[in-house]
Every structure is written in C-alpha cells, then in structure tokens.
C-alpha cells in the first residue's frame, strides 16, 4: 500500500515535470495537472494511510482516519481546478495573438522591452 | 480591536463583488467605490496599527473555533505593519491608474485590484499555514488578471509564463505543507512553533525538507536567485500601475520568510539550526549582483525598474538572513523604503512610456512634454532607489550595513559595489532619456498632449512618503525595533492564539 501510493506520487511528479519542460502550452498545462494530482495524493497520504476506516468518530467506531487531510485535498483540488481554467484561457489568448503555442519568449518578440 | 481584524479582508472582498455586480459598466462609479474603499482601508490599517502597538497581539477566531482546530487571523506588529504598507502603497497606485486612464483600458480593473488587496491583507493577517496558501492563491489569481490587463501580444505571452511559474510554486507549497502536517499534525503557526521546537530527533530530517521547500516557495515569490527569472519579463510587461502594486507582492515572500522562520523555525530550533540562514545569505548576495548588473544593462526603463526590484529584494534578504533583531529592524525599514521607491520607479517608467511612445533607452527620441518635471521626479526616485543621501534608501542601506557588521568582509563589498553599479545604470538611463533627447530636433510639429496632472501627483505622493520616512527615520526605527523584538520573542504571539489543550 505504502509502496503503491509513494510510487504513484513519484511517477505523477516525474511525468508532470517532464511535460512542463516541453515548453509548449498544451504539455505545460497537462504537466501542471499531473503535478497537482501528485500533490493531492501526497496530502491525502500525509494523514497516514488507513484502509476501511471512517473519517468520523461515532460511538460504535473503533478507529478513524484523519478527516483534515481530506478537507485540505478538497481545497487544493478546487484551487488547482480554478487555476487550470485560468491558464487554459490565457494560453488560448496568447496562442490566438501570436499564432504560436511556445511558452518561452524568443528574442524577436522582446521588442525593446 | 477584536472583530475589526477580519475587516481588512472582508471590506475589499465585498467591494470587489459590488463593483462587479452593481457598477460593471460605469467606470466613474467603479473609481469612486475603489478609491473610497482603499482610503477606508488605510484609515482602518492605521487604527489597527495603533491597537497592535498598544495592546499587543490579538486573534480573531474564524467561526469561533478554538485555535489549533479552527483558522485564526492574528493581529500583531508585523502583520499590521504589512497591511499598513500595502494600504499606503495602494492609494497612490490607484490614483495613478485612474489619472492615467489605465483602469479603462480593459475591464474589471477595480474589481481585480480590490481582490488583490483582499488576498494581500489575508496573507499578512492569517495565523494558519494552509490558510496562508489559500490567500497566496487569492492574491495570485487577482494578479494574473491585473498582469494581462489591457491585453496585447507581449503581455499575454509573459502572463502565461507568470501563471505557469506560480502554479509550480503553489504545488511546492502544498508538498511542503503536507510534509509539515505529516510530521507535526498541525498547521496553526503558533501550534507549529510549539510542536517543532519539541520535535523528537527522528523527525528532524523531514522537518528540514519541509522547511527548505517552504523557503523555495517564499524566495520564488521574493524573486531570489536562482528563482528570479520570472520577474523581469512579468514586471516589465505588466501595466505601469500594476507593476507598481506588484512591488508589494515580492514583499509577501519576505514577510512569509520573516514570519515562519522566526516563529516556527527560529535559529535555535534543534531540528534545523542555522540551515536557513546559511542558504539565504549567498542567494541574497547573488540576487543583489544579478539585479545591479541588470540595472546596468537593461534596454528599457521598465526592465530597469524590474531589475532594481530584484536588487532591492537582494538587499532585503541580506538583512533578513542573519535572523537577529537588529538585522530584522534594518530589513523592515528597507522593506518599507524599497516598496515605495520601487513603485515610484515603475510609475515613472509608465509616464515616460506614455509621453515618448517607447521606453527603449537605445533610441534617441525628441523630448517629451513636461520633461523638466518628469526628469526631476526620476532624479529623486533614482536617488532613493540607488540608496544615495539624502533619501531613505541611504538610511536603509546604512542600517543594513550596520546590522551585517559580523560578516563585513563578505557582505559590505557586495552591497557597496552593487550600489555603485545601480547609480551608474540609473544615471545612464536618465541621460539617455532626458539629455540626449535634446540632440534631435522635434520634427513632428503636432503638439504632444501634456501629461495629465493626477499621475504626477501620485508619483509626488510616493516621493513625499519617502521624504517622511527619511525625516522620521528615528521614530520609525524605534517602532520597527519593537516589531523585530516581538518576532524573536514569540511568546505573546503564541499566547494570543489561546491554544486549546489536547484531550
């Protein structure tokens, strides 16, 4: 279980970093999405891995799993979802303005700035 | 002040929503709302400052949940100082945006501006590490909108880079917070201070990793080498008033560093020790060098202002790195100075761009209208930015030099050498813009529009604030010394949280 989650986080992060380094807006956005999946999984695991336990304490339950990390993950998901929407719109705008989907800025377009 | 602590966050949030809903087509009404709100925020910040100075740290418990379980906002000397600095900067910047017509060149400028103020206030006031992340995102998402305000090819391209870099930064922030939570089981800053100090030695490695990750995030915001690469492109291409407001955004990184590395990871923590100070100092010195060389070599005035901002962050982090009360006093003074001076330089760059049509320093263009006045404003700002007497930059650098006396051989040559480079760079820019212009005859006979009055008033206001900061350097440093002392004795901060005992 630990090995599965840890290697999941690792593979997602590695894939995300590789995609971000491609320098094209589509792969950068996908890379950022993969990174945010990795971090969501990591936050979830930071409350310790427990199988089949409820996040709520009642009189009949014997054990519980940390509910706070689930709330943190929820917040992180909402924020990364919103941010992905913003960068998609901005990348689309930049693509329509420049006709190129490169994220790096070449010297020609610096025009004296 | 009790419930008033939340008002600097709530007021801009409500006003921003009101501007979007009720005044979306009426620019005049937006301006009235926005200016009134920003001035109200300034008055409120002054009142809160007085309260924090008289009564010590106070907390506001959101939803009235007890401290380590619920989120708290903490009003202490440092947080209210930052809110006050933000409000003091916001007024002239907003006056400039209104006077220069920048706010009408795209939609929703005022709503985004208010959301930006909300995020900044929240980031300064919050006493919860995860909530700090949330407010970082609030201020960032507003800044994305402001950065591409007015549109255009170059601005959108730089905007995408800016967003991508900051999204990676946010991911790192989350990794760091999750690691801290996994080790300590809490995210309340006061509770963290207690728990990290009493950590078993087996967990020291994990806490060190989390601390370094957090430092990476804050120095990314603070544009410290090697994470400064995003700043010149972003700030040079953002609209002038937005770049001026961003002068306080880099300071968020400096604030967060000061807050967490004096409260949670102070130098006497057994798990981390002097690790962070040792990492910060070389990076800060390199930043200073990169910034000064950039000022010398910049091709445009806006780029020059961006590199001057990097250099000022270098000086600021040099003063933060020793983590002593004396150095922190110097850092706080230099932070106030560099925020106001940096903003003034960005506004002047925008004035020059508006009058000349280009801020390229290599081109020789005819003189602009109102050149004498703009040139004198540039001269005064350049003196402040470079740290020459008689303005506050000189006092600030003197305080930083005095505080780093222990590492004189390493720090002093860098600070003094980069000051010289900055002076040369600014002098070259000034002569290219305002002297060489007289060598070409003004061939176009059409009269150029005189610069409007309000933008000049805004820059004058910033310079007047710098002059006040110089004249009242004594009383200001006395207050800042008390602020710094409170940072290194966080018992008041921790007690104000009224941490509930674990069952």
How buried is residue B401: exposed, middle or buried, by Cβ count under 10 Å (0-12/13-18/19+)?
Answer: middle
B503 falls within a domain: no
pLDDT at B447: 55
Pick the CATH number of A2-50+63-104 from 3.30.460.80, 2.60.40.3140, 1.20.1290.10, 1.10.287.3510: 1.10.287.3510
Q: Which of B152, B174, B362 sits opposite A43 (nearest CB)?
A: B174
* A28 part of contact set with chain B, CB < 8 Å: yes
* A91 part of contact set with chain B, CB < 8 Å: yes
Contacts of B303 in chain A (CB under 8 A): 113
Q: What chain B residue is nearest to A29 in terms of C-alpha separation?
A: B164
Contacts of A28 in chain B (CB under 8 A): 164
Coil/strand/helix, residue B126: strand
Q: How many CB atoms lie within 10 A of CB A99?
A: 8
- Cα(B500)–Cα(B503) distance, rounded to whole angstroms? 9
The tokens describing B123, both together, are: 């980031």
- Cα(A93)–Cα(B242) distance, rounded to whole angstroms? 20
pLDDT at A103: 82
**Phi/psi of residue B451, nearest 5 degrees:** -65, 140
- Say if the Cβ atoms of B360 and A47 lie within 8 Å: no
The tokens describing B80, both together, are: 């209210």
pLDDT at B449: 64
Asked whether residue A52 carries a pLDDT value surpassing 90, the answer given is no
**Model confidence at A42, in pLDDT bands (50, 70, 90)?**
very high
Which among B376, B202, B230 has a CA at the least distance from the CA of B306?
B230
Q: 10-residue block means of pLDDT along chain B (503 residues)?
A: 88 93 87 94 95 90 88 94 96 94 89 95 95 95 92 88 94 95 93 91 91 95 91 92 94 95 90 89 95 93 94 95 94 96 95 86 81 91 92 94 91 94 94 84 59 89 95 95 93 86 57
Residue whose tokens read 């320093």: B361
**DSSP per-residue letters across chain A:** -HHHHHHHHHHHHHHHHHHHTT-BHHHHHHHHHHHHHHHHHHHHHHT---SS--SS--SS-S----HHHHHHHHHHHHHHHHHHHHHHHHHHHHHHHHS--B-S--GGGGTT-
* A111 part of contact set with chain B, CB < 8 Å: yes
* A86 part of contact set with chain B, CB < 8 Å: yes
Q: How many CB pairs under 8 A join A and B?
A: 112
- Cα(B422)–Cα(B307) distance, rounded to whole angstroms? 10
Q: What chain A residue is nearest to B70 in terms of C-alpha separation?
A: A68
* A43 part of contact set with chain B, CB < 8 Å: yes
Yes or no: say if B434 and B378 are a contact pair by the CB < 8 Å rule.
Answer: yes
Who wins on pLDDT, A111 or B375? B375
Contacts of A91 in chain B (CB under 8 A): 160
**Model confidence at A65, in pLDDT bands (50, 70, 90)?**
confident
Question: DSSP code of B25?
Answer: S
Yes or no: say if B1 and B75 are a contact pair by the CB < 8 Å rule.
Answer: yes
Which among B37, B123, B114, B115 has a CA at the least distance from the CA of B73?
B123
Contacts of B153 in chain A (CB under 8 A): 94, 97-98, 109
CA torsion through residues B269, B271, B273, B275, sign: negative
Our count of domains for chain B comes to 1
Contacts of A98 in chain B (CB under 8 A): 153, 156-157
∠ CA A44-B132-B4, nearest 5°, is: 130
Q: Which of B154, B178, B233 sits opposite A43 (nearest CB)?
A: B178
Measure B235 CA to nearest chain A CA, in Å: 10
Yes or no: say if B384 and B337 are a contact pair by the CB < 8 Å rule.
Answer: yes
CA B239 to chain centre: 17
Coil/strand/helix, residue B384: helix
- Say if the Cβ atoms of A93 and B363 lie within 8 Å: no
pLDDT at B6: 93
**Three-class SS of B173-218:** HHHHHHHHHHHHCCCEHHHHHHHHHCCCHHHHHHHHHHHHHHHHHH
The tokens describing B21, both together, are: 């809903």
pLDDT at A113: 42
B501 falls within a domain: no
Which domain, by its residues, includes B310?
2-442+449-495
B217 falls within a domain: yes
Task: Mutate one of A90, A93, A96 to test the B interface: name it (highest B CB count within 10 A).
Answer: A90
Residue whose tokens read 């009101």: B18
Domain residue ranges of chain A, discontinuous segments joined by +? 2-50+63-104
């Amino acid at each position: 279980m630990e090995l599965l989650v840890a290697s999941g986080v690792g593979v997602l992060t590695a894939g995300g970093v590789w995609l971000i380094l491609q320098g094209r807006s589509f792969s950068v956005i996908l890379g950022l999405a993969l990174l945010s999946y990795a971090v969501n999984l990591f936050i979830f695991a930071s409350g310790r891995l427990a199988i089949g336990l409820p996040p709520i304490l009642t009189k009949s339950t014997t054990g519980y799993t940390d509910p706070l990390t689930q709330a943190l993950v929820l917040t992180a998901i909402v924020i990364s979802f919103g941010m992905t929407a913003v960068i998609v719109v901005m990348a689309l705008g930049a693509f329509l303005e420049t006709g190129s989907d490169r994220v790096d800025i070449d010297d020609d377009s610096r025009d004296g700035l | 002040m009790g419930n008033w602590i939340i008002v600097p966050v709530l007021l801009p949030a409500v006003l921003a929503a009101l501007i979007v809903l009720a005044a979306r087509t009426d620019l005049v009404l937006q301006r009235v709302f926005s200016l009134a709100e920003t001035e109200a925020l300034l008055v409120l910040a002054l009142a809160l400052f007085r309260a924090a100075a008289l009564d010590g740290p106070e907390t506001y418990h959101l939803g009235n949940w007890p401290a380590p379980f619920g989120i708290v906002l903490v009003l202490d000397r440092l947080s209210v100082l930052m809110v006050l600095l933000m409000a003091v900067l916001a007024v002239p910047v907003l006056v400039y945006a209104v006077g220069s017509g920048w706010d009408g060149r795209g939609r929703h400028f005022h709503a985004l501006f208010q959301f930006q103020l909300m995020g900044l206030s929240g980031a300064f006031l919050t006493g919860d590490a995860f909530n700090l992340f949330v407010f970082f995102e609030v201020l960032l998402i507003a800044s994305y909108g402001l950065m591409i305000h007015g549109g255009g090819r170059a601005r959108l391209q730089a905007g995408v880079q800016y967003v991508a870099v900051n999204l990676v930064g946010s991911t790192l922030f989350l990794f760091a917070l999750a690691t801290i939570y996994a080790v300590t089981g809490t995210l309340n800053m006061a509770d963290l201070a207690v728990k990290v100090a009493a950590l078993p030695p087996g967990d020291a490695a994990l806490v060190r990793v989390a601390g370094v990750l957090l430092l990476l995030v804050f120095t990314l915001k603070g544009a410290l080498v090697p994470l400064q690469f995003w700043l010149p492109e972003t700030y040079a291409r953002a609209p002038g008033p937005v770049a001026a407001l961003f002068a306080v955004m880099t300071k968020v990184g400096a604030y967060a560093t000061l807050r967490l590395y004096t409260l949670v990871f102070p130098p006497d923590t057994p798990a981390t020790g002097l690790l962070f100070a040792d990492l910060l100092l070389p990076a800060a010195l390199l930043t200073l060098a990169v910034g000064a060389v950039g000022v010398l070599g910049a091709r445009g005035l806006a780029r020059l202002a961006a590199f001057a901002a990097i250099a000022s962050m270098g000086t600021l982090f040099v003063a933060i790195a020793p983590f002593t009360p004396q150095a922190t006093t110097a850092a706080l003074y230099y932070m106030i100075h560099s925020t106001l001076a940096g903003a003034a330089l960005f506004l002047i760059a925008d004035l020059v761009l508006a009058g000349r049509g280009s801020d390229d320093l290599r081109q020789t263009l005819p003189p602009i209208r109102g050149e004498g006045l703009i040139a004198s404003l540039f001269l005064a700002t350049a003196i402040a930015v470079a740290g020459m007497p008689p303005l506050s930059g000189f006092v600030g650098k003197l305080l930083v030099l005095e505080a780093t006396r222990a590492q004189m051989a390493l720090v002093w040559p860098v600070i003094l050498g980069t000051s010289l480079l900055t002076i040369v760079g600014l002098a070259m820019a000034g002569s290219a813009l305002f002297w060489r212009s007289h060598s070409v005859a003004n061939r176009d006979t059409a009269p150029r529009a005189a610069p409007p009055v309000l933008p000049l008033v805004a820059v004058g206001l910033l310079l007047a604030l710098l002059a006040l900061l110089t004249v009242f350097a004594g009383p200001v440093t006395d207050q800042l010394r008390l602020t710094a002392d409170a940072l290194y004795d966080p018992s008041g901060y921790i007690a104000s949280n009224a941490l509930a005992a674990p069952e």
